[in-house]
Chains A and B, each alone.
Chain A
Amino acid sequence: MAEFSAEVYQNEFLSDGATDVHAIVTVTCTGAGTAGAESGGGVAEIIMVDTSGSMSGRNIEAAKHAASVAVDQILDGTWFAIIGGSHVANRAFPYPNARVAMVQMEPGARAEAKRAISMMTPGGGTAMSTWLRLADQLFETLPRSTQRHAILLTDGKNESEPRANLSSAVRDVTGHFQCDARGVGSRWQVDELREISTALIGTVDLIADPSQIAADFEALMRASMARGVASAELRVWAPQGSTVLFVRQVAPTVEDLTTRRSEAGPLTGGYPTGSWGDESRDYHVAVRVASKPVGSEQLAARVQLAVNGEVVSSGLVKAKWSADEALTTRISPEVAHYTGQTELATAIQEGLAAKASGDEATATVKLGRAVQLAQETGNDEATSRLRRVVDIDDEEHGTVRLKRNTSTLDEMALDTASTKTTRVRR
């Protein structure tokens, strides 16, 4: 039986007249078990492999191998399907002439699925909206499945349709299933896959060489199979008359949840968090309350995790007004750390966008700020990725020069990893 706990990190002391309360809430899940163990066969997996013409050669062979490896990781009893995607989407398995849209995994199905994968051949363009919509249709044939997860692999730009088609498909399927998106090589668009993975509560990553796809798929599918909690909702209660400024996931990656709010009860917003394995996620919650006289105390937020509509853990965010500057000027190290990491992600993305559009001045300032923030927050991985794109003159002050002739792969690696955060050192 999964157990959740919530820990709150904040400086609850506010100076006279202050109104904004910030807190980091760490939610930890233990004993999650395996996918479907508690929901009883309600788990469904779909693997979407790019079969456009550009995949010809090493890419398609590596992708087919990776799909087979992923199929090996799918637990018996899990419903699954394989989709080959180009400018149209095709169900590769169950075979197109099969009467069922998805089948439950068992040794015979596994062998047959691998045979179907081996017969996938590249050709045509790329229209990922069709892939997502087909996956959605297949999942919809299993109305009782409570945990739906997909992997999407592409090597190229979504060139066969207007961008709006992809966006509208993403909107339409949001909340229906979760999706991890992977791009192989350097010819795909980071923003396209990020749009998919962000909305569908998954991850986005770059796979530099096709030989690495299999290991990545194996890890993704194994992680998915270890998520024993099908779905959970983050709930934020804030007092009458207050404003929730933002709700962000800040670890393991930065995801702004603010606009995904749905009403979960009186004064309470619900934010989807997808499925959970044994893991820990950090959330940054900011609430604006009316200032109270020095000496007053009030609860500024209850941050809770709810599974199947039931609150399984709760953290209290408090506000205490004080005239003691020693208390009120103290900055919570956790809040400072994640505020910096969030700004780091923004600085990297804006810096790279400016560089791509030829605005070198803005790019230099933004990426310089990113170098500074990465150093301040101890994000060494970000620093080393930044070094491939800029020459650092002064890390502390963020003085950098843009490198000439940087590799596209390095820039894409920096971009895709920009939202990955390091944990605060406690």
Chain B
Amino acid sequence: MSGADAGPGPATQPVDGPLDCPACGESAAPGSRFCEGCGTPLRTAAQVPLVIDPDPPAAESGSGPGSGTTAPTAPASDPATAARPCVRCGGAVADDGYCTECGEPAASERDHWSEIPATWVAGVCDRGIRHSRNEDAMALHASADAGATGFAALVVCDGVSAAPDSDVASLAAATAARDALARGGPGGAEPVTGTLSARMGSWSALVASSSQVANDAILATVGEMADRDNPPSCTFVAAVVDGPLVVVGWVGDSRVYWVPDDGDARQLSVDDSWAQEMIAQGIPRADAENAPQAHAITRWLGPDAPDPAARTAATVPEGPGWVLVCSDGLWNYCSPADDMATLVRATQEAVGTQPGANGPDPADLAGALVRWANAQGGRDNITVALARFAPAAGTPDENASASTR
């Protein structure tokens, strides 16, 4: 980039120097091509088209392939045509489809992307190593501020590998469900309001219906593929954070974990899987999950879905922590909630906190967890979405935990 010889530490951004990171806000060192914090490619002021947007959306949904219905953010380069830098080393990718530095094949936007709708909510969706395509999908939404009025909706769908074109189904499902949930958020078409218990009920209903919306979106998207013997299909998991409240819903074996900074972690979702049925019958978890048919899911979304309504659970967690939404590409390597908590805390320790930030950066953490899963072998697509849960000081009036499952 041309700003390499800009003076050190300018107080204001030079026109030809790199802008602050569009993804995480980290200030950019002169001459740097990639964000120190999250690795997002940086552009110089001269390169960013001047977009006058008097009323930018409070929550934007990143640059992922699922952002079609929301306004794309200014720094999002055109994913279809722009040559993205190498995902492994940041080098330039040649026309022949491989990195000019390390030889890594070019990743398509669908193979690897991040969404950072707010500083406290982020996710990374990655193809992994073994699979030739990324059939996972995610869609995130968040209000700018966390805390008592913070709102986030995180949706992850894992396409069924055995059914061709499930990557199409999962992306359609995640995007539709995220948009349906956003309608209930502040500023949405039908904001959820009322007491904590009233909101708990409303959100549980909305989460259950969002998976039906997702299912309808799959049917609309796959068209004639629905008539196949093995039509495109996917799992579904969603987590809504509404102030002190967390409501989750699922169809299949993608998961939500609650990982508090202190205390015991919990898996908030309950897999719809053969393994879970065995565990329910008293088979030890390790045995059940390592059986060959462990991953057979008993419920899914798609044209042949037995029951597309998500089962839900609502909770009011105590103290700060992480709401972690993930596909089995992560949890396969770290299934028990305690192990997951250990992993998240150790990873958080390794990633550290950016100077000036209030807490650990979810984008850094999600990226590090995806890298960890790839380091374990990356046998499946990996999606990790995180919301930093930090209720405002002072406990809410109704400090109850309830489950409707």
Contact flag A297-B105 (CB < 8 Å), given A266-B100, A302-B96, A316-B96:
yes
Interface pair B105/A298, CB less than 8 Å apart:
yes
Interface pair A239/B130, CB less than 8 Å apart:
no
Contact flag A298-B130 (CB < 8 Å), given A314-B96, A316-B96:
no
Judged by a CB distance under 8 angstroms, whether B287 is at the interface is no
Judged by a CB distance under 8 angstroms, whether A300 is at the interface is yes
Q: How far is the CA of A294 from the CA of B96 in the complex (A)?
A: 23
Q: Which of A238, A240, A295 contacts B378 (CB 8 A)?
A: A295
Q: How far is the CA of A289 from the CA of B374 in the complex (A)?
A: 19
Taking chain B's interface residues, is the majority helix, strand, or loop, or is none over half, making it mixed?
loop
Q: How far is the CA of A293 from the CA of B130 in the complex (A)?
A: 9
Contact flag A300-B100 (CB < 8 Å), given A293-B129, A294-B130, A295-B129:
no
List residues of chain B with CB within 8 A of the CB of A299. 96, 98-99, 103-105
B231 to chain A, nearest CB (A): 27
Query: How extensive is the interface on chain B, given as a class?
Result: 20 to 34
Judged by a CB distance under 8 angstroms, whether B377 is at the interface is yes
Judged by a CB distance under 8 angstroms, whether B225 is at the interface is no
B375 to chain A, nearest CB (A): 8
Interface pair A298/B104, CB less than 8 Å apart:
yes
Interface pair A293/B378, CB less than 8 Å apart:
yes
Judged by a CB distance under 8 angstroms, whether A215 is at the interface is no
Instruction: Write out, one digit per residue, whether chain A residues 281-300 have a CB within 8 A of any chain B CB (1) or not (0).
Output: 00000000100011111111
Taking chain A's interface residues, is the majority helix, strand, or loop, or is none over half, making it mixed?
loop
List residues of chain B with CB within 8 A of the CB of A241. 102
B83 to chain A, nearest CB (A): 15
Q: Which of A240, A296, A316 contacts B101 (CB 8 A)?
A: A240
Judged by a CB distance under 8 angstroms, whether B89 is at the interface is yes
Q: How far is the CA of A396 from the CA of B268 in the complex (A)?
A: 69
List residues of chain B with CB within 8 A of the CB of A295. 128-131, 377-379
Q: How far is the CA of A299 from the CA of B94 in the complex (A)?
A: 11
Interface pair B89/A240, CB less than 8 Å apart:
yes
Instruction: Write out, one digit per residue, whether chain B residues 76-89 have a CB within 8 A of any chain A CB (1) or not (0).
Output: 00000000000001
Interface pair B96/A300, CB less than 8 Å apart:
no
List residues of chain B with CB within 8 A of the CB of A240. 89, 91, 101-102
List residues of chain A with CB within 8 A of the CB of B377. 293-295
List residues of chain A with CB within 8 A of the CB of B101. 239-240, 266-267
B2 to chain A, nearest CB (A): 19
B392 to chain A, nearest CB (A): 44
Interface pair A239/B103, CB less than 8 Å apart:
yes
Closest to B94 in A: A302
List residues of chain A with CB within 8 A of the CB of B374. 293
Q: How far is the CA of A242 from the CA of B99 in the complex (A)?
A: 14
List residues of chain B with CB within 8 A of the CB of A266. 100-101
Q: Which of B102, B128, B129 contacts A239 (CB 8 A)?
A: B102
Instruction: Write out, one digit per residue, whether chain B residues 177-206 have a CB within 8 A of any chain A CB (1) or not (0).
Output: 000000000000000000000000000000
List residues of chain B with CB within 8 A of the CB of A294. 129-130, 377
User: Within A293-321, which residues are at the interface with B (CB < 8 Å)?
Assistant: 293-300, 302, 314, 316
Q: How far is the CA of A314 from the CA of B100 in the complex (A)?
A: 14
Contact flag A298-B100 (CB < 8 Å), given A240-B89, A293-B377, A293-B378:
no
List residues of chain B with CB within 8 A of the CB of A239. 99, 101-103
List residues of chain A with CB within 8 A of the CB of B130. 294-295
A241 to chain B, nearest CB (A): 7
Q: How far is the CA of A302 from the CA of B98 in the complex (A)?
A: 10
Q: Name, among B89, B99, B103, B379, the residue most crowded by chain A CB atoms within 10 Å (CB to CB).
A: B103
Q: Which of B89, B99, B103, B128 contacts A300 (CB 8 A)?
A: B103
A217 to chain B, nearest CB (A): 43
Q: How far is the CA of A300 from the CA of B99 in the complex (A)?
A: 11
Contact flag A316-B98 (CB < 8 Å), given A298-B105, A300-B103:
yes
Q: Name, among A239, A297, A314, the residue most crowded by chain B CB atoms within 10 Å (CB to CB).
A: A239
Interface pair B102/A298, CB less than 8 Å apart:
yes
List residues of chain A with CB within 8 A of the CB of B91. 240
Closest to A298 in B: B103
B333 to chain A, nearest CB (A): 13
B212 to chain A, nearest CB (A): 35
Q: How far is the CA of A293 from the CA of B377 in the complex (A)?
A: 7
Q: How far is the CA of A240 from the CA of B91 in the complex (A)?
A: 10
A220 to chain B, nearest CB (A): 38
Q: How far is the CA of A239 from the CA of B102 in the complex (A)?
A: 5
Q: Given A298-B103, A316-B98, 13 other A-B contacts at CB below 8 A? A: A237-B100, A240-B101, A240-B102, A289-B103, A293-B377, A294-B130, A294-B377, A295-B378, A295-B379, A296-B129, A298-B102, A300-B103, A314-B96
List 29 A–B pairs whose Cβ atoms lie within 8 Å, in order of A's numbering: A237-B100, A239-B99, A239-B101, A240-B89, A240-B91, A240-B101, A242-B103, A267-B100, A293-B129, A293-B374, A294-B129, A294-B377, A295-B129, A295-B378, A295-B379, A296-B129, A298-B98, A298-B103, A299-B96, A299-B98, A299-B99, A299-B103, A299-B104, A299-B105, A300-B103, A302-B96, A302-B98, A314-B96, A316-B98
A residues at B contact (CB < 8 Å) = 237-242, 266-267, 289, 293-300, 302, 314, 316
